[in-house]
Amino acid sequence: MWSTRLGQQLGRPTRSVLGWLVSKFLTRHNQLLEENAVKLCGILPGHTVLELGHGPGLGLQAAARLLTEPAGRLIGVDYSKYMHQMASEVMKDLLASGKVTLYHCDVAAMPLADGTVDRVFHCNCYYFWPDLRKAASEIHRVMKPGGLMVTTLRLDRIAYFASKRVMPGENWRPEAYMAALKDSGFTDVDMDDKQDRGITFQTIYATASK
């Protein structure tokens, strides 16, 4: 069925015609969410910042521009080999300099030390995680005490995709993700509406209390 195939490609794009079309769709339509996630997580020039499910790399590029101090580091994880390769090409100069590190891995098992990340952001990603609690616990593990996690989404669009069964199950619901965040030790878990360029989107915030 077309919706299942589309969902599979959105959740983990592969090097294929549909995967290529999905990468073009992400690049064209998700810039606003990626840029706002970067802006709203309050990155300082010396921070260590992590993007989950970076896809083609728009958010990575926006975050890298803010990490102007030598200590500033950017990490990205994505378990799609195709997206990992695409973002690696886009970020190749910063990868070579050691400013940026990209891991081809699952959000639920990241090769990062405990308590090392100041800011985490992600867009259009958690809906595809089979175990929200496991992923949220792993994000919490790698974050520094008091670190901020931000995700941006367009709820109307996601609800439409879910109604067409593009998203698997019910994990796309913000309430499900926010409950998993609270269960994993995050505090000040909250969601609000924002507008940019005439488009309304939602932002979920969570603080890694330890």
Nearer to ligand SAM, 40 or 108 (CB): 108
Residue 76 lies near ligand SAM (rule: CB under 6 A): no
Which segments of 110-163 are extended strands (E)?
A: 117-123, 143-153
What is the Cα–Cα distance from 122 to 51, expressed in whole angstroms? 6
Least Å distance, CB 15 to ligand SAM, is 12
Least Å distance, CB 175 to ligand SAM, is 19
Least Å distance, CB 71 to ligand SAM, is 25
Residue 83 lies near ligand SAM (rule: CB under 6 A): yes
Burial class (CB in 10 A: 0-12, 13-18, 19+), 49: buried
Token pair in block for residue 52:
């989950």
Residue 100 lies near ligand SAM (rule: CB under 6 A): no
Q: Which stretch binds ligand SAM (CB under 6 A): 73-81, 112-120, 174-182, 200-208?
A: 73-81
Backbone φ, ψ for residue 32 (5° rounding): -60, -45
Residue 26 lies near ligand SAM (rule: CB under 6 A): yes
- Kind of pairing, strands 73-77 and 48-52? parallel
Contact call for residues 36 and 121 (beta carbons, < 8 A)? no
Residue 79 lies near ligand SAM (rule: CB under 6 A): yes
Interface with ligand SAM (CB under 6 A), residue from 50, 125, 136, 149:
125
Backbone φ, ψ for residue 208 (5° rounding): -80, 90
Q: Which stretch binds ligand SAM (CB under 6 A): 72-80, 136-144, 160-168, 188-196?
A: 72-80
- Rama region for 142: left / alpha / beta (φ>0; ψ in -120 to 50; rest): alpha
Residues 145-184 that bind ligand SAM (CB under 6 A): none
Binding site residues, ligand SAM, CB under 6 A = 10-13, 26, 30, 33-34, 53-55, 77-80, 83, 106-108, 123-125, 128-129
